[in-house]
Amino acid sequence: MKYREFITALERGRIVSAYLFEGEEDYLKKEALERLKKKIILPDYEDFNYERFSAESSSVGQIVESLSTLPLKGKWRMVVVEEVDKLSEKNQKIVAEYLDNPVKTTCLVAIGGKIDKRKKLYKDFLKKGTIVSFYSLYDGEVVDWVKKRVEEEKKRISPPALFCIKERVGSNRRDLDNTMEKLLLYIHPRKVIEKEDVEEVLGEGAGGGVFDLTKAIRERNLAGALSILAKLLERGEAPLRIHSLVTREMRILLKIKEKGEKISSQEACTIIFGPRSYYAPFYTKIASDYTRAVRKLDFSDLITSYQYLVETEASIKTGREDPDLAIERMILHLLQPA
Q: Kindly report the CA angle at 181 between 308 and 241, in degrees rounded to 5?
A: 30
Q: Delimit the domains of the chain by residue range.
A: 3-134, 141-335
Do 136 and 169 touch, CB atoms closer than 8 A? no
- CATH code for the structural domain at 141-335: 1.20.272.10
**pLDDT of 174:** 81
Give the amino acid at 209: G
**pLDDT of 205:** 53
pTM of the model: 0.56
Q: What is the pLDDT along the chain (338 residues), one digit of tens a residue?
A: 888 899 889 989 999 999 999 988 888 898 899 999 999 999 899 999 999 999 888 889 999 999 999 999 889 999 999 999 888 888 888 988 999 999 999 999 999 988 888 888 889 899 999 999 988 777 678 888 899 889 988 899 998 898 888 878 878 888 888 889 889 888 888 899 998 889 888 875 555 677 788 888 988 999 989 998 998 888 788 899 889 889 989 999 999 999 988 898 889 988 887 777 667 666 788 888 899 999 988 999 999 999 999 999 999 999 999 999 999 999 999 997 65
- The third-level CATH classification (topology) of the domain covering 3-134 is Rossmann fold (3.40.50)
Alpha carbons 55 and 111: distance in angstroms, whole number: 9
**pLDDT of 222:** 92
